[in-house]
A and B are shown apart, each in its own frame.
Chain A
């Protein structure tokens, strides 16, 4: 597994080999495809995964649409996810969200016009004791306070 084979098809075969039944590899396969397609799953992605796992594109779409981490519409190069479940909300998640919305100029669920950053709200991310939890490009920041937000946005915009 270490030396990743070239094509998506071959990489999916490699993952599938770890399971008693190949279909079990559909989540890893979709994850690989999503990475390949810039963070979301266009129709081609489903066709590719379907061929590799010998299922139908419809089946892959059915599975992907069940899970929150697969995106069926284009997303930004960066992803900011703010937990707004009870524990984080009790300690001010909505202020954090509002600050991000102000700084980025988009609402939750939207992507900045330049296609750089997608802002989402998410259900409990499992960092409740250190709320508010924010995942920036899938790495947790805990806790995030309103004053931290501008720095995070700058970091994303200028990689600084």
Chain B
């Protein structure tokens, strides 16, 4: 367990953004190998590797790919869409991969594209990632000239064109169907499923959608062979993941760990622990969308099942460390503000519920809430959960519910003491969430009163 570089192998020693450097450490050999195999054979390796999606949902990659019709079973083109919209608060790992090992990423795309018989791939890069976009485009250009990408990949007779598409600032476009809508030129509002993208995705054609990190693992899997890869990590959580460590920790940053490493190892041994001699209070283990863990749960291993047992999720692998200066009502308020700001507005419970949560949390933080309103808050979470069109609603409700559940007395004190027990000393005190500066001002519209 602990640190283990597969994706970021050699990245410290060499500048792997350069094709020559990448080739010098065996780059694109996996692509050659894959092109020499039957499509099904490559797919079998992916299935054997038992890699679960790194984007958040954790669905097995091989299984998802196997849901697509084979090229000869459909008259429509097959598309590969890469989710590089990385916007889950706390997450910045895909960015690291694009900046430091873009060719590994590209190689993964091409191999995956070959496996499903895609003719075109789209990489949806978060709009704010400007430098990342430039590095990726440069790497693609090199790869194209070298014949790894294009109408006839390495003379195999099979071709893949790759379009890098920049988003424009909307968290919901990370949700796969919202991403497809956005890529088709609409407002990025999620679609109902079924039909699933594998059947009817981009332009109603069969589409495989994977996260950057998921695809970046592909060359390694082809190189090692699926079974060998599956032996890394722990049962049901094969391989390594790049974890984004942030918050109240000495050495924040990205660390590639073998799955099964504990939070304690990451936070203390690798991250250098909590600064300023403060106490660990809580941990958000998988991005702001997942339920919180208390300091007491710091020995939970970073693997899918262990996290599920602890009542939370590995999510996007974003570990946010929170020390004892943080008021969890303010935490809830700030998180709720994010989801209200990012709700796409399509379905009722998410659009109305996230806004209501913010209003209630603001009132609790200000010490003006009644006992009843604390229960209403929990009830609102409960009424959002499972009733929305896409998982964003759940992603808003689950964490808030968990904050109240795990820090009930802190919430209670806000009500009993008629104010924040931290008395302005909380690390989150006075946080200013984005007001809706970008929104079109409608005639006669009066600003939604969300934050005082």
Contact = CB atoms under 8 A, between A and B. Distances in A.
B20 interface: no
B432 A129 contact: no
Interface string B328-353: 00010011001001101000000000
A12 interface: no
A66 B171 CA distance: 11
B439 A72 contact: yes
Contacts of B169: 67-70
B112 interface: no
A124 B438 contact: no
A65 B314 CA distance: 33
Interface string B308-328: 000000000010101100100
A120 B163 CA distance: 31
Interface string B181-211: 0111111100000000000000100000000
Given A25-B185, A62-B187, A126-B92, A67 B334 contact: no
A87 B203 contact: no
A56 to B, nearest CB: 13
Interface string A20-62: 1111111110110000000000000000000001000000011
Nearest to A128: B246
A90 B326 contact: yes
A139 B128 CA distance: 9
A140 B253 CA distance: 15
Interface string B224-247: 000000000000000000001111
Nearest to A131: B246
A87 B120 contact: no
Nearest to A26: B185
A123 B341 CA distance: 9
Interface stretch (A3-11, A91-99, A150-158): A91-99
Contacts of B92: 126-129
Interface footprint category on B:
35 or more
B247 A90 contact: yes
Interface in B159-178: 163, 165-171
A93 B166 CA distance: 27
B429 interface: yes
A149 interface: no
B185 A128 contact: no
A28 B58 CA distance: 31
Interface in B430-452: 430-435, 437-441
Contact of B432 (A73, A84, A127): A84
8 contacts: A31-B168, A62-B187, A69-B169, A86-B89, A90-B247, A91-B248, A124-B88, A129-B246
Interface of A: 18-28, 30-31, 53, 61-63, 65-73, 84-87, 89-94, 97, 108-109, 120-131, 135, 138-140
Interface of B: 77, 86-92, 95, 120, 126-131, 163, 165-171, 182-188, 203, 244-248, 252-254, 284, 288, 318, 320, 322-323, 326, 331, 334-335, 338, 341-342, 344, 427-435, 437-441
